[in-house]
């Protein structure tokens, strides 16, 4: 194998590379868990990136003009932890020793907000690759907004065979090529090994031709994984390309230089054979040393950062007086603050919705987002080929494209999974406030990205319209049933199903101002009435997750719902009053937020001892936390006009009246 350092690489840099390798080996041995081989193989690439390529300041990991680097092959996390330690980030040798241990800075897979220098949470393969596409879009967008001279960096992603096998990478790469994201450089570790064995078992496509067909510039560098100068040369070549994203293919050797495990599937996991590891350390000149970092290695990394520090200081001086940059850094804007100081009706450009007027919440969402987007540069997004259908159309926005990277409207195409992960990259990498939309039933296609958004507290607004059997004729395949319960079960995700235009406005405002993570906004296809008093109650109600719409001092029963079923509760309450049954109506736009409230707050809304009946056009799972009895749909839907499907499945005010009467009479 022609995998030896070239003669013009000095001994110190070879020692630097081998320090990364041995730290990875020692950490995995101590934890008796992890992935040694990939970190060992990719140590030269990491060394070149952190000493010759990347623009960063380890003392300010969030410097806005830093290069972004993502390790999409997150199982090789010791590669980035070792590199961050050598580069001077707040990752100590003791942190390295605590690899994969409880509450350490070095978890099994990289986690954003947890380890300084880690840009995104990469666990499931392919997510990091798509995150990088999102960051490249965001960099293009922000650069055009504030000037390319102030935002002149690139996005780098190191990916594996597994990343490129996952379907999300096809979606993301296709969109990146279409938009000519020349600031994106992907380095593909083509080591031809997976857990099951050689990639020949499952993966025989021509990756080079695949990416070329998707509009990428491809550099097939071959056997250069130990040649530092050659690695630097191909990356510089990629940086000079201005017409397309670049994929650099490098044939590495997993587990190198382990005598017994190089180029084997066993090297994918934890290498703990003491004799083999000792031989490997001997080859690298680290006999008998554990967690060893020589001072000259640290000094080399410090010396490599001199140019970066100078660029950082100059940039910070310029940015301090630039309002546009400061707004983007903070992710805030006076526009949203001004609107929030007014009435909820201020979010509606044409006219404030009147009680009794009918309007689909997806239509309200579009108007609200369009109003906010005027002067709010951090708001950017779109949908998966359903822009006009989902409420994600910005009225005056232009399309993001190669010729117009300042466009706020992104057309993602039919790529839900990548769309979610791309939005995560935009939010985490550049503090933007992205929104993405599709039909609610297709949230299943992007669930992995939603979950990562929740874990990483990404400020993404996931807009899901066509939220129930109200989809009608499209039938069971397009009618969400279990999706609400499923997303509500996800920790860290705020799930909001607004009942009308004002609850929709309050939900979007709350997300943009207060969110500490993602929000799923669940919207109707069909028109729903604007509710009496929601204009003045929805904002405070949104903060608690629930509020009283129809008050009764001594109710016999409480009817509660979310979304399009709230008006059914109001209609039923009127009918029940003719039967001398005093009825209170509570809207619950965000069930999870309400369940987080203390007992006093909950008892103020739901009177102790009063029976509660809930209704929702979806699974009844989860409502038992509040309701004594629930009306819902615990089966799949049917293909027919919406009103017929609602009637057939018992989602009606009549069903509420009948069930409530029985509850009260018990």
Give the list of residues 6+ apart from residue 660 with CB closer than 8 angstroms, or none: 557, 559, 572, 576, 581, 583, 613
CA 333 and chain centroid, separation: 22
Give the list of residues 6+ apart from residue 88 with CB closer than 8 angstroms, or none: 58, 59, 298, 301, 302, 305
The CA distance from 100 to 115, in Å, is: 13
Q: β-strand 358-359 against 217-222: which pairing, if any?
A: unpaired
362, 525 Cβ separation under 8 angstroms: yes
CA 50 and chain centroid, separation: 25
CA distances from 283 to 27, 280, 459, 514, 575 (A): 19, 5, 47, 54, 85
The CA distance from 63 to 345, in Å, is: 38
CA distances from 164 to 27, 230, 246, 347, 479 (A): 27, 24, 14, 43, 32
- Between CA 417 and CA 427, with CA 423 as vertex, the angle to 5 degrees is 150
Of 166, 416, 552, 565, which is the active-site residue?
Answer: 416
109, 98 Cβ separation under 8 angstroms: no
End-to-end CA distance of the chain: 82
Give the list of residues 6+ apart from residue 179 with CB closer than 8 angstroms, or none: 137, 140, 400, 401, 402
The CA distance from 431 to 459, in Å, is: 8
The CA distance from 156 to 432, in Å, is: 19
The CA distance from 281 to 210, in Å, is: 38
Other Cβ atoms less than 10 A from the Cβ of 519: the count is 23
529, 470 Cβ separation under 8 angstroms: no
26, 98 Cβ separation under 8 angstroms: no
Q: Read off the DSSP letter of residue 182.
A: T
Q: Give catalytic status of residue 94 as yes or no.
A: no
CA distances from 486 to 444, 466, 476, 490, 627 (A): 10, 16, 17, 7, 18
The CA distance from 632 to 627, in Å, is: 12
Closest residue by Cα to residue 244 from 169, 177, 188: 177
512, 479 Cβ separation under 8 angstroms: no
Closest residue by Cα to residue 592 from 481, 468, 465, 491: 491
Element (H, E) at 92: none
Say if residue 456 is preceded by a cis peptide, omega within 30 of 0: no
Closest residue by Cα to residue 537 from 365, 343, 337, 371: 343
What is the token pair recorded at 177?
């090529």
Q: Name the residues annotated as catalytic.
A: 416
């Amino acid at each position: 194998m022609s995998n030896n350092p070239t003669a013009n690489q000095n001994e110190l840099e070879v020692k630097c590379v081998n320090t990364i390798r041995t730290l990875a080996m020692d950490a995995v041995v101590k934890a008796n868990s992890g992935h040694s081989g990939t970190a060992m193989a990719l140590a030269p690439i990491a060394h070149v990136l952190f000493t010759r390529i990347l623009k960063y300041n380890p003392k300010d990991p969030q410097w806005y003009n830093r290069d972004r680097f993502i390790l999409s092959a997150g199982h090789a996390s010791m590669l980035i932890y070792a590199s961050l330690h050598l580069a001077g980030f707040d990752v100590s040798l003791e942190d390295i020793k605590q690899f994969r241990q409880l509450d350490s800075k070095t978890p099994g897979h990289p986690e954003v907000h947890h380890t300084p220098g880690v840009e995104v949470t990469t666990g499931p393969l392919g997510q990091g690759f798509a995150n990088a596409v999102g960051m490249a879009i965001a960099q293009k967008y922000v650069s055009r907004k504030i000037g390319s001279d102030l935002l002149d960096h690139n996005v780098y992603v190191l990916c594996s065979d597994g990343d490129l096998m996952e379907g999300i990478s096809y979606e993301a790469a296709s969109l990146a090529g279409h938009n000519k994201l020349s600031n994106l450089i992907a380095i593909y570790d083509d080591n031809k090994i997976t857990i099951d064995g050689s990639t020949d078992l499952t993966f025989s496509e021509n990756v080079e031709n695949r990416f070329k067909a998707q509009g990428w510039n491809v550099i097939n560098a071959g056997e250069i994984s130990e040649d530092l100068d050659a690695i630097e040369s191909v990356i510089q070549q990629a940086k000079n390309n201005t017409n397309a994203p670049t994929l650099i293919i490098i044939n590495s050797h997993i587990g190198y230089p382990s005598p017994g495990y190089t180029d084997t599937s066993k090297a994918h996991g934890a290498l703990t054979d003491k004799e083999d590891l000792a031989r490997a350390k001997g080859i690298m000149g680290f006999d008998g040393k554990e967690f060893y970092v020589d001072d000259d290695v640290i000094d080399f990394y410090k010396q490599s950062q001199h140019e970066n520090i100078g660029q950082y200081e100059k940039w910070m001086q310029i940015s301090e007086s630039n309002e546009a940059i400061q707004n983007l850094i903070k992710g805030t804007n006076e526009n949203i603050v001004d609107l929030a100081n007014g009435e909820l009706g201020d979010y509606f450009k044409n006219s404030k919705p009147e009680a009794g007027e009918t309007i689909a919440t997806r239509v309200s969402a579009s108007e609200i987002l369009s109003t906010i987007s005027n002067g709010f540069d951090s708001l950017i997004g779109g949908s998966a080929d359903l822009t006009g259908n989902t409420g994600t159309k910005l009225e005056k926005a232009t399309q993001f494209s190669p010729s117009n990277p300042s466009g706020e409207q992104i057309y993602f195409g039919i790529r839900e999974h990548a769309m979610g992960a791309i939005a995560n990259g935009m939010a985490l990498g550049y503090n933007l406030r992205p929104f993405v939309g599709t039909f609610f039933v297709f949230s299943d296609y992007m669930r992995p990205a939603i979950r990562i958004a929740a874990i990483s507290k990404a400020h993404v607004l996931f807009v899901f319209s066509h939220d129930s059997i109200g989809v009608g004729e499209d039938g069971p395949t397009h009618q969400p049933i279990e999706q609400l319960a499923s997303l509500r079960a996800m920790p860290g995700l705020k799930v909001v199903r607004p009942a009308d235009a004002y609850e929709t406005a309050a939900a979007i405002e709350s997300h943009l101002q207060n969110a500490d993570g993602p929000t799923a906004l669940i919207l109707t296809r069909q028109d729903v009435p604007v509710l009496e008093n929601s204009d003045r109650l929805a904002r405070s109600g949104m903060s608690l997750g629930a509020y009283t719409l129809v008050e009764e001092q001594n109710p016999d029963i409480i009817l509660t719902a979310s979304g399009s079923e709230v008006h059914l509760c109001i209609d039923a309450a009127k009918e029940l009053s003719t039967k001398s049954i005093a009825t209170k109506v509570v809207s619950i736009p965000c069930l999870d937020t309400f369940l987080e409230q203390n007992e006093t707050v909950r008892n103020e809304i739901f009177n102790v001892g009063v029976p509660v009946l809930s209704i929702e056009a979806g699974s009844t799972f989860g409502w038992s936390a509040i309701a004594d009895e629930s009306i819902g749909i615990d089966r799949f839907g049917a293909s027919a006009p919406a009103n017929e499907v609602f009637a057939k499945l018992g989602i009606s005010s009549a069903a509420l009246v009948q069930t409530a009467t029985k509850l009260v009479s018990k």
